Amino acid sequence: MRPSIGKSLAAAALATTLLATAACSGGGDTEEEPTGPVELSFWSWAPGIEKTVDLWNSQNPEIKVVLSKQAGGADIVTKLLTAAKAGNPPDLAQVEYQSLPTLVSNDVLADIAEQTKDVKDKFPAGAWQQVTLGTEAVYAIPQDSGPMMLYYREDIFKEMGLTVPKTWDEFAATARTVRQKDSAKYLTTFSAADPGWFAGLAQQAGASWWGIDGETWKVSVNDAATKKVADYWGGLVTEGAISGNPMYTPEWNKSLNDGTIIAWPSAVWGPGVLEGNAPDTKGKWAMAPLPQWSAGENKTGNWGGSTTGVTAASKHKTAAVKFATWMNTDTAATDSLITSGAIYPAASAAQASQHLQAPPAFFPQQADFYTSAKTIADSAAGFTWGPNTNVTYDTYKDAFAKAITDKTPFSAALDVMQSATVADMQKNGFTVAG
């Protein structure tokens, strides 16, 4: 609370100006591509990506890429939408899979199917499906993927006599055992702040939130598979077997660091997060496949993962696609992404890189980390994202947070997500089949 009218007015003016710029439409189409040296602007938030860009620039003086570091995930989508409306988006941008339809629907990304005919085979089918949205078009080139796996404190599991759960039933039993043996500890937490995490868990169970049927969108965020996942976690939170506090808070960091939270269903990029947020636990974690819904199954979902897209307003699309293809398929480039950015590449060949032979530095004892990771990655389910994932994700945060504080069924929160998603699509005029 800041009782200053001047500041308030300034803020209001600023906000309106932002809104104004956000809505200025512009940017004509330029079909001819100039020849000669070109300069490409590239927005990305991947750590260490500047080294990969430098590598390209040293080898390709004709096509100079100028990197602009951005805030991650959802923020870059907002900035891209705004910049595209103002008529000055970058040529290339890093975009998460779930944001692709939103950007395509807003005419931000170009269809690069023409220029990427030979690229398709270099990626697993699941990743490629996500950049085509199940159509003939190609809207981006996959960069990295986030197959989900289970991280657990090997030392504490041993100490408490726990075995690594292979199914979600075993996982629930383990959670209860942890509570009985030590009331200060939780096996894990359910986070209402991370919709991408929940989406990954739902994918594993076979969820399909969006689908395209001819010219009609099908929306089923509350399908049977997702309801099963939601009610499973809801039951655990309500009975107190696991915590319901959000992830990525100082509290969560402390719990990971001091061993009061001892497992984390996460993605292949998890070691980097653990290293940053729980530095005292080096060498104490181990990775296992995510627990399964039926014993003997072998499935997972993706949490996060991103692509490189070329914008519709770019004047140098061919050059931009050339760079995007190189960055995500060339061995030198993907090796650089792995070593300087700890990125788990989406390209099949890159996943077998020599740099992925040794385990992550934070998991020195698990020599086969990346070999197991590749097996897990190959079992990831495909998924179609919708044109308003942002609305669905926002609703997840509110509805699930409310369900946790009010102790109401998670499947009801899922129904809220479904109706908010459909209502938003209908309001905007999409053809939707309920």
CA distance 322 to 137: 17
Structure tokens at 266: 């996460």
Q: How far apart are CA 361 and CA 358, in angstroms?
A: 8
Q: Does 20 bind another protein (CB under 8 A)?
A: yes
Closest to another protein by CB, 358 or 423? 423
For position 249 contacting another protein by CB under 8 A, the verdict is yes
Taking the least distance from each CB to another protein, the nearer of 114 and 406 is 406
Closest C-alpha among 168, 393, 367, 360 to residue 270: 360
**Is 28 one of the binding residues for another protein (CB under 8 A)?**
no
The piece of 215-223, 262-270, 353-361, 410-418 that touches another protein (CB under 8 A) is: 215-223
DSSP 201-249: HHHHTT---EEEETTEEEE-TT-HHHHHHHHHHHHHHHTTSSB-PPSSS
Instruction: With contacts defined by CB under 8 A, name the span among 56-64, 157-165, 249-257, 301-309 that binds another protein.
Output: 249-257
Which listed residue (30, 59, 135, 357) binds another protein by CB under 8 A?
Answer: 135
* Nearest residue (CB) to another protein, 30 versus 357: 30
CB 70 within 8 A of CB 45: yes
| Residue 344 C-beta: closest distance to another protein, Å | 26
Nearer to another protein, 111 or 275 (CB): 111
Residues, the chain: 434
Q: Does 30 bind another protein (CB under 8 A)?
A: no
Q: Does 255 bind another protein (CB under 8 A)?
A: yes
Q: Judged by CB under 8 A, which of 59, 68, 88, 216 binds another protein?
A: 216
Interaction pattern, residues 76-115, with another protein; x per rule: CB under 8 A: --x--x-------------------xx-xxxx--------
Cβ 395 to another protein shortest distance, Å: 9
| Largest Cα span, the chain | 70
Contact 326, 56 (CB under 8 A): yes
- Only one residue has tokens 């077997």, namely 241
Residues 153/46/112/103 CA torsion (nearest 10 deg): 80
Structure tokens at 42: 């590239």
Span near another protein by CB under 8 A; candidates 198-206, 221-229, 367-375, 392-400: 392-400
DSSP string, 5-39: HHHHHHHHHHHHHHHHHHH------------SSEE
* Residue 78: count of CB within 10 angstroms of its CB: 13
The answer to whether 201 and 264 have CB atoms below 8 angstroms apart is no
Tokens found for residue 306? 């991103």
Check residue 182 for interaction with another protein (CB under 8 A).
Answer: no
19 binds another protein (CB under 8 A): yes
Indicate the DSSP class of residue 202. H
- Total site size for another protein, rule CB under 8 A: 65
Which residues are at the interface with another protein (CB under 8 A)?
Answer: 1-5, 8-9, 11-13, 15-17, 19-20, 22-23, 25, 74, 78, 81, 101-102, 104-107, 133, 135, 137, 192-193, 212, 215-217, 244-246, 248-251, 254-255, 260, 312, 387-388, 390-391, 394, 397-398, 400-402, 404-406, 424, 428-431
